[in-house]
Amino acid sequence: CPVTGTWMASTTLPCTYVPTEDFTQQTLSWSVEQGSSTSTIFRRDDSGDHILLSQFRGRVSVPKHSPGDASLLIQNLEMPDSGHYTCQIIWRSRDNSLITREVTTIVKVVKGKCSSKVLLLSEPGLTLPAGASTSLSCEAGGSPPISYRWFRRGPAGTAELLSSGAELAWPSLRPSDSGTYFCEAHNRAGAGAVQRSDAVRLTVTGECRAAQILCQGQRNRILLPSPRHGALPEALRAFPSSPTLEGAAQEQGSVLQLLPHAAGTASPSCQLGGGCFLLLPPVGNSVPQQHHHGGQTPV
């Protein structure tokens, strides 16, 4: 029976028999007829398995430990693999006579269109805090190369093209990233036909990932109450209210020391993991005592 295989996919050409103690398999071979030439691809004998055509090396195999199964697996099908494939098995009987059997399979390799179902590898709805990182992945079947495009659904059925590629990633989410997203996939075999995934709704909240930790500021120092004494909370930074001066500070245990150019009348802010900020009063003013946690006092 003819076998239709998809380019760059895998296919198995059947060749089976019922083993019997009266016959012992001597040789097994697979050959292919293409045009006017016939070549042996695979041969199994007492010396082992041999792949005789270089273009099939690393792509073909026959089960070793399945008596009666001599089927040929071809991986990563190529267009020139189309042809007539013949499985030949030679047995030796108890009286030393040889018996030969053959079966031929016609293989046609075609380029497959993108599958009608494009999978969006995510939950239908995602709710994540600002500052979190996430990604959406798109997957479609069919012959490569497959092209992907990502869209964000707009008003009145419109769609905004965002990017190309199988993945859409956000290293740090913002509330403005909330929206409905979907991907489209197509390949050359589809004659321009585009397959669309289901949509996923992404909601970004304004909450911090990290626990709220109140900061205290006085002069050019900020005390950072922490559940871990002697260490700053992870992903915690401080800088003047202008983010361009980020890093103008030094960590000293649980105290963050602002550098001279960051002091003065600037209003430092304490950034908690997740992209949230706690604004402090201008340097030189202290925070009311009721905002202080952990029994520590300003320095």
Mean pLDDT for 119-131 is 74
Mean pLDDT for 72-81 is 91
Q: 106 and 10: one domain?
A: yes
- Predicted confidence band of residue 270 (pLDDT cuts 50, 70, 90): low
Question: Which of 158, 179, 205 represents a domain boundary (last residue)?
Answer: 205
- Predicted confidence band of residue 15 (pLDDT cuts 50, 70, 90): very high
Number of domains in the chain: 3
Residue 296 domain-assigned (yes or no): no
SS (H, E, C) the chain: CCEEEECCCCEEECCECCCCCCEEEEEEEEEEEECCEEEEEEEEECCEEEECCHHHCCCEECCCCCCCECCEEECCCCHHHCEEEEEEEEEEECCCCEEEEEEEEEEEEECCCCCCCEEECCCCEEEEECCCCEEEEEECCCCCCEEEEEEEECHHHCEEEEEECCEEEECCCCHHHCEEEEEEEEEHHHCCCCEEECCEEEEEECCCCCCCCCCEEECCEEECCCCCCCCCCCCCEEEECCHHHCCCEEEECCEEEECHHHCCCCCEEEEECCCEEEECCCCCCCCCHHHCCCCCCCC
pLDDT given at position 126: 83
The pLDDT mean for the chain works out to 72
Q: 166 and 148: one domain?
A: yes
Task: Report pLDDT digits (tens) over 152-196.
Answer: 988 777 888 999 888 899 998 888 899 899 888 887 665 556 788
Question: Which of 171, 205, 239 represents a domain boundary (last residue)?
Answer: 205
Question: Which of 87, 110, 133 represents a domain boundary (last residue)?
Answer: 110
Q: 106 and 21: one domain?
A: yes
Highest mean pLDDT, choosing among 1-5, 99-103, 208-212: 99-103
Q: 84 and 51: one domain?
A: yes
pLDDT given at position 146: 82
Residue 133 domain-assigned (yes or no): yes
Mean pLDDT for 12-29 is 92
Residue 70 domain-assigned (yes or no): yes
Residue 211 domain-assigned (yes or no): no
* Rg of the chain (C-alpha set): 34
Residue 185 domain-assigned (yes or no): yes
Residue-range definition of the domain harbouring residue 231: 216-291
Q: 125 and 52: one domain?
A: no
Q: 140 and 188: one domain?
A: yes
Q: 45 and 93: one domain?
A: yes
Residue 299 domain-assigned (yes or no): no
Residue 298 domain-assigned (yes or no): no
> Nearest to residue 13, comparing CAs of 47, 41, 45?
41
pLDDT given at position 187: 76
pLDDT given at position 92: 92
pTM above 0.85, yes or no: no
Q: 97 and 7: one domain?
A: yes
**For residue 234, pLDDT beyond 80:** no
